[in-house]
Chain A
Amino acid sequence: MFLILLILVQGISLDVYDTPNDDGSSITLSWSSDTLISSYQILRSIFPEHDFKEIARVESGKTTYVDTAVKAGTKYYYRIKGAGLDTVFFSNTAGPVRPIAQIFNLGRLNIAVCMIILFAVILFYISRARKGEKLYIRKIPALTAVEEAIGRATEMGKPVLFVPGIMDIDNPQTIAAMSILARVAEKTAEYGTPLYVPTSKAMAMSMAQQVVKESATKVGRPDWFNADNIRYLTDDQFGYVSAVDGMMVREKPATNLYLGCFYAESLILAETGHYTGAIQIAGTAMPDQLPFFVAACDYTLLGEELYAASAYLSQEPIQIGSLKGQDFGKLIFILVIVIGVITRLLGNQYFYNLFKTTR
C-alpha cells in the first residue's frame, strides 16, 4: 500500500492550466516523468476525487496534451495513468482549472503594437503627401533608362515588350508593375510604338488591358490601344516562359521590360532577350532572381527600388507618402536592432523577449 502510494505521487508529475489567449475552449496539460512509460491515458473529471474518465491516449515521448473538449467556465480535474514495463503509474490529481474566454490575445500584443506603429507612420506620411507637401525621393538611375529605352525602340520602329511577372494580382509586385506599366503605356502610346504585354494570369491580363487602355486615352490615343497585344498565355510557368521566348524571337522587340514578381524564368527571359539584342531593364523584389537580372540586363531595380520606381514615376502622393513611411519604418528597424544588440550585450533579456511570437 505504502509502495503504491509512493508511485502514485512520484511516477508522473502533472501540471494543468487554462490555455492562455484562447476562447476558453481548451485546457493545456503538461507532465514530466522519469520512468520508462510506453503510453499515457489521460483522465478527466469534474469532481476532485472520483468519476475520472479516459478522454485520450497519448504515445510515449509526448509531454503535453491540449484538451479541446471542454466548456468555458466549468471546473475540471485531471489525472494521468501511464503504462510502464509491468507497473501502472499514476500522476497527482491536478486542478481545479477553469477555461476562460479572453477578449484580447495578449500573446499577440507585440504584433498589434508593431502593426499600429507601422500603420501610423505610413498613414502619417500619406496624409502629408496628400496635402500637397513636396516629399523628397532620391533619383533611381534605372528609371531614366526606361524612358530612353522606349525612345530607342521607337527610333528602330520595333515594339516594346513588358512582362509584368508571373504572379497574380494579389501579389503587390504585380500591382507595382502595373503602375509602371501605366507610365510605359503613356509613353508608347504617345510615340505610337506597339506595346506587348503577355501575362501568365488571367486576372493580370484584364488588369493590364484596363491600365493600358486608360493610359492611351489619357494621352489622347485611344485608337492606339489594341487588346490583342495584351494577352493571357498560360498559367503554367514553363508554358508561359516558352511562349514569351517564342514571342521575343519572332517579334524581336527592341526593349524588354521585366518588372514584377519573377521566379526561375528570369534568366531564360533575360538571356533570350540578350540574344535578340534588346535593351533590357528589369526589376523585382524576388531576392533569388536579382542576380540574374543584374548579370544579364542593362539596368536592374533592386528589390524595393521596384516600389520606389513606381512611386517616383507616378509622383502620386499616395505612393510617395507610403515610400516615405516605409523609410521611417527602416529607421525604426535600425534603431530597434541597435537597442536589441546593446541590451543583450549588457545582459538584459527583457527587450529581446519582447519580440517572441511563438509560445
Chain B
Amino acid sequence: MKSILPIIVVFGFGFFMLVSFFIPLKGIQDTSQTFQNWYIGVMAFFIFIGIFNIIKINLEKIQRRLRDWQYSIILLICLLVMMAAGFIGGPEGGLFLYFYKNVQIPLGATMFSLLAFFVASAAFRAFRARSPEATLLLIAAVLVMIGRVPIGYWIWHGFPNLVEWIMTVPNTAAKRGILFGIDLGMISMGLRVLLGIERSYMGGGKE
C-alpha cells in the first residue's frame, strides 16, 4: 500500500494528462482541466506547510535555547504581527501595506543589491584569464559590459550593434544547444517519474 498507491497515483494522473493533450473530446478536456485546478489547490498547501515549518522550527529553537534563539523570537513576532495586520485589516489594510512598503520592499531589494559588491570583488579576484576558454569568456564579458550601457555607445556608435550580434549569434547558438540538452534531460526525468522508476522525490525510493 505504502509504495503501490503512490505509484498508481503518479502513473494514473500523469498518463491521463499526457494522453488528454492529444484528445480534444469534451469529457476528457473537462476532466483534465479539473485535475489541473486541483493541482493548483494542492500547491497552495505547499506554501502553507512552508510557513507552518518556519513556526515549528523557530519555536523549537527557542525552546531548546539553540544558538541565536533570541532572533527567532523577533522572527516569530514579525510573522505574527504581519499575519495579524493582514487577517484583521485585509490585504488592503493600511498597516499590512505599510509593513510591506517600509519593511519588506527595502529589505528584499537591499538583500539583492549586496550582489553588486560581491560581483565587483569576484571581478577583481576570481575572474581570471587562466586558459584560452576563460580568456574568451572574459573578452565577451568586457565587450558586453561596456557595449550594453550608454558609455559604450558614447565611445563608439557601433558598439551596441556588435553586442547585439554577440547576443543573437554565438550566445543564441550556445544557449540553444544547452537548452536542447536540458530539455532532453527533463523529458527523461519526467518519463521515469511517471513510470514510477524514479522515486527519489518521494524520499529514498525504497520502503
Contacts and interface: CB of A to CB of B under 8 A. Distances in A.
Interface of A: 21-25, 101-105, 108, 111-112, 115, 118-119, 122-123, 126, 168-170, 172, 174-176, 178-179, 182, 201-203, 205-207, 209-211, 214, 231-232, 234-236, 238-239, 241-242, 250, 264, 267-268, 270-272, 274, 285, 287, 291-292, 294-296, 302-304, 307, 318, 322-323, 325-326, 329-330, 333
Interface residues on B, range: 35 or more
A211 to B, nearest CB: 6
B201 A169 contact: yes
A179 B186 CA distance: 15
Contact of B204 (A205, A214, A272): A214
B114 interface: yes
Chain A interface SS verdict (over half): helix
A38 B90 CA distance: 43
Contacts of A296: 122, 126
Contacts of B115: 264, 267-268
B137 interface: yes
Given A21-B24, A108-B21, A175 B184 contact: no
Contacts of B127: 295
B5 interface: no
B22 A112 contact: yes
Contact of B192 (A23, A104, A272, A318): A318
B118 A268 contact: yes
15 contacts: A111-B21, A112-B22, A172-B190, A175-B198, A175-B201, A234-B54, A267-B119, A271-B122, A271-B126, A296-B122, A303-B181, A304-B182, A322-B191, A325-B188, A330-B180
A294 B137 contact: yes
A306 to B, nearest CB: 8
A318 B192 CA distance: 9
B206 interface: yes
